[in-house]
């Protein structure tokens, strides 16, 4: 007999938002820099996160999960350029989340 799981599920971003993030980040990795459209998308994701009660830390985990799931990132060896892109993504996300 299996015990009832009382762990509440964590709120997530809308799958369409996650796919849009994935598309923009794929372009970022290919170009070696973040497109201007990333800011608008992070504004949308941050607003959605605040509306759904997703804390900033959880939003960062979601973004990192998307980042590390990109085939270009997964198959690449640790590169300084990709680490810089990730750090910039994290910084921008934090800025947009707390910008009110």
Q: Contacts from 37-40 at CB under 8 Å and sequence distance 24+?
A: 38/89, 38/92, 39/92, 39/96
**Spans of all domains in the chain:** 15-98
Find all residues with CB under 8 Å of 58, minimum gap 6, and list them: 10, 11, 49
The per-residue pLDDT for range 81-97, each reduced to its tens digit, is 889 999 999 999 999 99
What pLDDT shows up at residue 10?
A: 76
- Which of the four pLDDT bands, split at 50, 70 and 90, describes residue 17? very high
Q: What is the pTM of this model?
A: 0.85
Tell me what the pLDDT averaged over the chain comes to: 90
What pLDDT shows up at residue 5?
A: 63
What pLDDT shows up at residue 75?
A: 79
Which has the minimum average pLDDT: 1-10, 36-45, 66-75? 1-10
């Amino acid at each position: 007999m299996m015990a009832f799981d009382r762990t509440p599920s964590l709120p997530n971003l809308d799958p369409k938002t996650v796919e849009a993030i994935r598309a923009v980040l794929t372009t970022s990795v290919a170009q070696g820099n973040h497109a201007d459209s990333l800011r608008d998308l992070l504004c949308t994701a941050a607003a959605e996160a605040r509306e759904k009660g997703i804390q900033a830390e959880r939003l960062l985990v979601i973004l990192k999960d998307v980042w590390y799931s990109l085939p270009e990132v997964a198959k690449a060896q640790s590169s300084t350029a990709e680490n810089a892109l990730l750090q910039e993504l994290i910084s921008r996300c934090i800025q947009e989340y707390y910008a009110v």
